Amino acid sequence: MSTTEESPTAAQAGASATRAFRTSRQHRTAGEVTPERVSTVVTALLDGVHRTIRTHQVTYPEYVAAKRWLIEVGESGEWPLLLDVFVEHEVEEVSAQHQQGSKGSILGPYHLPGAVRLPSVCTLPMRADEPGTPLVLAGQVRDTTGKALPGAELDIWHADDAGYYSGFAPHVPDGNLRGVVVADDDGRFEISTIQPAPYQIPTDGPTGTLIERAGWHPWRPAHLHLIVRSPGYRPITTQLYFTGGDWLDSDVAKATKPELVLDPRPQPDGRRRAEYDFVLEPA
Ligand code: DHB
Ligand code: FE
């Protein structure tokens, strides 16, 4: 991926992600956290920090550097990026332990509510000259008994061919490569879009600094994000990846699963077509 002078800064992406998180309805958790849980979980978390300090003999300069870095994470608005990359995958796996239906994955920081509603056979909003290999994602939404779910919604969003998300990169038009697709009477859909590029954590903010200073890499494999929902069923938040893609085996966000890898086939018309069916369990 090449970066251009139009690339958003980490601070811009971070500020937008913080704003999106604060207004999102995907995270309604008020009232679910009791004082007992706060005490139990925070005590365990601090125990882990204290144990790390002792085990690795953390020094005062290291403690001060950590403090300075944490302040920067807050000031740059990067908490959503940092948490979604390094923590959310574990919460997702715990919450999915006893769930049936299609595999989920992390939501990440870049979902936006209110995307345009589109019919079951559709093309996602894109620029007239949108770069990237044309891609078709087709399939059916069913319940765990195999019954088709008419009118199921597929809220889909993904990065462009340079790895940027609309709403978080000022040079990408609002609503680009985002839509809520309404499946047909047989739960079927056929979405035309372009193949996204791998995503790179912004390198010019504190998360990027951490990754660089630790000698890690800042990449996520190319992916489509989806929330699939139908009234009376548990919505599935997931991501779909591409077979053979870079970083599939070393996702910085640890959010890949073998069940979530598409194998798009070249079509005579030059597009690539992938099939994927979603299975929802009753709520
Ligand atoms: C982040 C970005 C993503 O596109 C994603 O899917 C998960 C996490 C991030 O920058 O935190
Ligand atoms: Fe993403």
If 0-12 CB within 10 Å is exposed, 13-18 middle and 19+ buried, where does residue 51 land?
A: exposed
Distance (Å) from CA 246 to ligand 1 centroid = 16
String of DSSP letters for 221-233: --EEEEEEE-TTB
Distance (Å) from CA 109 to ligand 2 centroid = 8
For residue range 26-57, list pLDDT tens digits in order: 765 556 889 999 999 999 999 999 999 999 99
Tell me the C-alpha distance between 151 and 52, whole Å: 50
Distance (Å) from CA 229 to ligand 1 centroid = 21
Tell me the C-alpha distance between 221 and 199, whole Å: 6
Q: What is the Cα 84 distance to its own chain's centre?
A: 8
Which residue is closest in CA terms to ligand 1's atom 9? 81
| 84 CB near ligand 1 (under 6 Å) | yes
3-class SS of residue 121: strand
For residue range 182-241, list pLDDT tens digits in order: 999 999 999 999 999 999 999 999 999 999 999 999 999 999 999 999 999 999 999 999
Tell me the C-alpha distance between 269 and 257, whole Å: 30
Tell me the C-alpha distance between 147 and 230, whole Å: 12
Ligand 1 atom nearest to 82, measured from its CA? 11
Instruction: Tell me the percentage of the chain whose pLDDT exceeds 70.
Output: 95
For residue range 50-94, list pLDDT tens digits in order: 999 999 999 999 999 999 999 999 999 999 999 999 999 999 999
Mean pLDDT across the stretch 244-259? Answer: 97
